[in-house]
Structure 1
Amino acid sequence: MGANSIPRKIIKNLLVPFPRLREYLQTMAMAKDIYTDEWAIKNEPEIFWIKSALKTGDVAIDIGANYGLYTYNLSKTVGNDGLVYAFEPIPYTFRTLKRITKIFRLNNVELINKGCSNSVGKIKFSVPLQENGTISAGLAFIDMNEKNRNSRLKKGNHTDVITIESEIIKIDDLNFKKVSFIKVDVEGAELLVLEGAIKTIKNLRPIIMLEVEDRWIDSYDIKRNDINNFFKNLNYQTNYYNNGQLIKCDINLKNINNFIFTP
């Protein structure tokens, strides 16, 4: 039963009055999808390349960890001698992520209940609501202003949001000494995260995987060429994953959302 299958949607609707039970079952369902690779096979095949690109002892950063699909696979890949830092600012999602790491005993993962950007402090996140009133936690975004919010709602076919406040930090302020891989999936604000990690990227030259989706980056007045210029200035190559290999490409390649940038 897939994450967005009709049976699962029906179950979610029935569980609306029982939030704790819903969270528990959500955790179990996500744990199953993660363990069986069901979600990765259908939606995130890049995970299988990552397993071959990283090695035991590496350090990885998962920004926008959500429920832990990448966190889990990164943890297993870098092993007990490696480390994974997983950032997730949304409380509901973070609780589920925490349960996932306990279920799988991911002892090499450090969970951080914060977001990442090019500034520090408290900031508002908007979390879209589904028709049944439950949240779409995976679509949470930094709420810059009313224009930004309304644009997101229209493009995501949502009618309302709840707003939460969470802390954001800059990756550069953490002074990492070793980083082999960074994954960033933050619903359009990816360039802001990169700007806050510029020193880390320059000094440590990690592989970077980025989600680039026009409908989301547009709401921050970011264009694909802005992201392209960022990596071009760092002498990084743009690639996408297909059939077991990385293929060099232009960032304006359509129908590709996940790009892998290599030094």
Structure 2
Amino acid sequence: MQLDRTDTNPARSRAYAELLATLGVSGAAEMYEVLTERLYAAWLRPGDVAIDAGANVGRHAIGMAQAVGQGGTVHAFEPSPTVLPMLYARLQKAGVNDRVTVHELALGRAPGSARFHVLHGALGMSGLQLRELAPDLQARVNIEEVEVHVETLDSLFGHGLPARFVKLDLEGGELDAMRGGTDLLRANRPLVVFENGRGHSAKDYGYDMDDFFGFFESISYRVLDGVGFPFTAAQWSLGSVPWQFVALPDGDANMLDCATAVIAEVLAQHGLRTSDQT
């Protein structure tokens, strides 16, 4: 199945509206999880190395471990002391704990320590910065602040980790984690799937649109949004969706073909159009 996108804001707006009208916010969120799963299943090979930053309870760490097989390795990053016991238990139950290295720390732009906000009642929204919460969510969560160790991908691995796939879901901290892994990304050119709230994440983590797009330009990567459109500065403020992105090295035709085929497959599976042609 082919993805046929028209690189215009009207086409994007129609696709984003269709996404929300068809799936709603929660349905779109699950579609992005499925997209992430299908991407690493299609791209990873036995023996590969993958990174799961923001592993939570292990949905994707387990899937990546199954994709890389006994000879592969997954590096899973999770700083939350509340979530870590659940992560270890699920890895053990799935029988993949021998190939998943859990790093009990946060990833950032520079090594150090920081306050990490654990949102009891919405653990998946925990992060280094406290996001602005809707009133109904504020009423049902309890926020606990804990001190966590922060490292960078480069301080841990430099360019010596042959990562083939990187997933980042850090509640707004994704760009900082990538900035802290510049050497790794430049040296290994992995497929990167990341969540990001655009302007909201930029505000929370102290960067702007130029920083965001300048980073990808500096490492010669292109970015697609979660429904397959090229993501550029013109779309920075365009609507509230998507919040899932795929970053690929410029010039890697095989990776681009793989990613766009997977996006098309997932869109069709969820009842969404894969072409903007009428």
Name the TM tier (shorter chain). 0.7 to 0.9
TM-superposed deviation, 1:128: 2.6
Change (3 A) 1:63 1:164: same
Tell me how many residue pairs correspond in the alignment. 211
SS of alignment partner, residue 256 of structure 1: coil
Higher relative contact order (CA 8 A, sep 6+): 2
TM-superposed deviation, 1:184: 0.8
> Does the CA contact (< 8 Å) of 1:128 and 1:153 recur in 2?
no
> Does the CA contact (< 8 Å) of 2:225 and 2:231 recur in 1?
no
SS of alignment partner, residue 138 of structure 2: coil
Match of 1:262 in 2: 248
Q: TM-score, normalised to structure 2's length?
A: 0.69
Per-residue CA shift, 1:57-89, capped at 9, x if unaligned? 110011110111110111111111111000000
Partner residue of 1:182 out of 140, 146, 166: 166
- After the TM superposition, which residues 163-182 of structure 1 pair with which residues of structure 2 at under 5 Å, given as runs? 163-175=145-157, 176-182=160-166
> Does the CA contact (< 8 Å) of 2:32 and 2:226 recur in 1?
no
Measured in 2, the distance between the counterparts of 1:108 and 1:62 equals: 13
Measured in 1, the distance between the counterparts of 2:28 and 2:102 equals: 22
> Does the CA contact (< 8 Å) of 1:117 and 1:193 recur in 2?
yes
Per-residue CA shift, 1:107-156, capped at 9, x if unaligned? 211111111101112211112344xxxxx22111114xxxxx4x524588
Measured in 1, the distance between the counterparts of 2:172 and 2:43 equals: 26
Partner residue of 2:216 out of 220, 224, 231: 231
Match of 2:111 in 1: 120
> Does the CA contact (< 8 Å) of 1:85 and 1:111 recur in 2?
yes
Per-residue CA shift, 1:13-64, capped at 9, x if unaligned? xxxxxxxxxxxxxxxxxxxxxxxxx999645121112211111111001111
Partner residue of 2:191 out of 207, 214, 218: 207
Match of 1:222 in 2: 207
Change (3 A) 1:76 1:156: farther
Q: TM-score, normalised to structure 1's length?
A: 0.73
Change (3 A) 1:43 1:198: closer
> Does the CA contact (< 8 Å) of 1:128 and 1:158 recur in 2?
no
Change (3 A) 1:137 1:241: closer
Partner residue of 1:161 out of 111, 119, 143: 143
Partner residue of 2:44 out of 54, 70, 74: 54
Bigger shift: residues 202-211 or 174-183 = 174-183
SS of alignment partner, residue 262 of structure 1: strand
- After the TM superposition, which residues 17-32 of structure 1 pair with which residues of structure 2 at under 5 Å, given as runs? none
Amino acid at match of 1:119: A
Measured in 2, the distance between the counterparts of 1:196 and 1:121 equals: 12
> Does the CA contact (< 8 Å) of 1:188 and 1:218 recur in 2?
no
Amino acid at match of 2:188: L
* CA root-mean-square deviation: 2.4
> Does the CA contact (< 8 Å) of 2:114 and 2:147 recur in 1?
yes
Measured in 2, the distance between the counterparts of 1:122 and 1:221 equals: 17
User: Once the two structures are aligned, what percentage of the paired residues are identical?
Assistant: 24
Measured in 2, the distance between the counterparts of 1:207 and 1:93 equals: 26
SS of alignment partner, residue 142 of structure 1: coil
Amino acid at match of 2:143: V
Match of 2:78 in 1: 88
SS of alignment partner, residue 89 of structure 2: helix
Amino acid at match of 1:181: F
Per-residue CA shift, 1:183-213, capped at 9, x if unaligned? 1110011111111101111111111111011
Measured in 2, the distance between the counterparts of 1:229 and 1:194 equals: 12
Measured in 2, the distance between the counterparts of 1:40 and 1:128 equals: 19
